[in-house]
Amino acid sequence: MEILIQQLFNGLTIGSVYSLVALGLTLVYGILHIPNFAHGALYMMGGYITLTMMTKYGFHYWIAIIVSILVVGLLGVLMERFVFHPLRDAPPIHDKIAAIGILLFLEAFAQFVWGAEYQSMPTPYGQVVEIFGLTFTMQRLLIVIAAIVVMILLTLFLKKTFTGSTIIAMSQNREGANLVGINTKKVAMLTFMISGGLAAIAASLSAPINLVFPGMGHLVILKAFVIIILGGMGSVPGAILGGYILGFSESLGATYISNDYKDIIAFVLLVIILSVKPTGLFSKGGH
């Protein structure tokens, strides 16, 4: 029983990270209608920048995260401006290949600057707390809480503010948004900024319990793709829900099925979903 609860909590932690990454991916998909393969590289850059800020410049954890959000967000904006914007009328296969090019570059860049070694990130929240006889590390609790706060803020931003609703308007209908006077270029850049920021938050939060290395984005991005297919491409609540579903099924699968094959669970899930419904679970048809 205790193992079960412990694993459920682990699932909640992993799921929070997955949800944050998937949220960024789904927002960009809503705007551009392309899967951004470079999103995993943004995640990786987020981890490295936070790490550098902390170890090299001695910033506090939270300040380092804010710097990382800004830098990675800017990286996202640059990507949209210089790569995806010129490609907006090209066949979809071109966007995908361009994104792969960015991914390859950023990974080689990280390896060049920071080296290929696995690095661990120090955290001021390493203490162990005991609640109801179960032991948690503070960092894991922090991941869960911070992720939920970020998700609430993002939802409020999208639903309650004017700028937020322009993003939703644009994902619903690009031409329509343009017609009613929304500056679609600006909104696209803003979306990339948010998406990069979310990736940076997710990486910075999860890095202390995992490790930082150039390939750290690979598995996460693949799983984020599975999540947005699970939750419907472009759907915000779908990404959150899908993230937690995957987090739970992985942590339970690791304990009760096989630890070696736990990474396959996500992909098997995807294979099953797409075999039954080729356009994803909650897709609205058309398009």
Partner 1 sequence: MSKIQRIVILGLILFAIVFPLISNNDYFIHVMTLSFIWMIGVYGLNLLAGYTGYLSLAHAGFFAIGAYSLGLLTVKAEMNFWPALLLSLIITGVLGFFAGLISLRTKEHFFAIYTLCVGYIIYLVIDKWDSLTEGVRGLIGIPAPANIGPLSFETLQSHYYLVLFFLLLVVLIMYRIVHSLSGRTYIAIRNSEDLAQTIGISTMKNKLTVFVISTVIAGLSGALYASFVRFIGPDIGSIAIVFDFLTYLLVGGLGTLSGPIVGTLLIVVLSQRLQFLQDYRMLVFGPVLTLLIIFYPRGIVGTAAAWGQKRRSSVHKTRLNNLPEEQVKEG
Strand partners, 131: 134
Residue closer to partner 1 by CB (options 62, 261) is: 261
Residue closer to partner 1 by CB (options 46, 280) is: 280
**d(Cα 152, Cα 174) in Å, to the nearest integer?**
26
With binding defined as CB under 8 A, does residue 92 bind partner 1?
yes
**Interacting span for partner 1 (CB under 8 A) from 51-59, 83-91, 166-174, 205-213:** 83-91
Q: How far is the CB of 243 from partner 1 (least distance, A)?
A: 16
Q: Which of 68, 41, 43 is nearest to 54 (CA)?
A: 68
**Interacting span for partner 1 (CB under 8 A) from 55-63, 82-90, 171-179, 193-201:** 82-90
Instruction: Report CA-CA distances (Å) from 200 to 8, 73, 178.
Output: 25, 8, 30
With binding defined as CB under 8 A, does residue 101 bind partner 1?
yes
Give me 261's structure tokens: 């094959």
Q: Which of 46, 127, 33, 32 is nearest to 81 (CA)?
A: 32
- Candidates 104, 145, 153, 257; binder of partner 1 (CB under 8 A) is 104
- Candidates 70, 211, 274, 281; binder of partner 1 (CB under 8 A) is 274
**d(Cα 31, Cα 88) in Å, to the nearest integer?**
11
**d(Cα 3, Cα 17) in Å, to the nearest integer?**
21
With binding defined as CB under 8 A, does residue 81 bind partner 1?
no
**d(Cα 179, Cα 176) in Å, to the nearest integer?**
5
**Interacting span for partner 1 (CB under 8 A) from 16-24, 81-89, 127-135, 202-210:** 81-89
- Candidates 3, 56, 58, 93; binder of partner 1 (CB under 8 A) is 93
Residue closer to partner 1 by CB (options 61, 213) is: 213
With binding defined as CB under 8 A, does residue 109 bind partner 1?
yes
With binding defined as CB under 8 A, does residue 201 bind partner 1?
no
# binding residues, partner 1 (CB under 8 A): 46
Instruction: Find the distance separating the first CA and the last CA of the chain, reported in whole Å.
Output: 46
Concatenating the DSSP letter of every residue in 99-159 gives: HHHHHHHHHHHHHHHH-SS-B----TT--EEEETTEEEEHHHHHHHHHHHHHHHHHHHHHH
- Candidates 44, 87, 142, 205; binder of partner 1 (CB under 8 A) is 87
Q: How far is the CB of 100 from partner 1 (least distance, A)?
A: 6
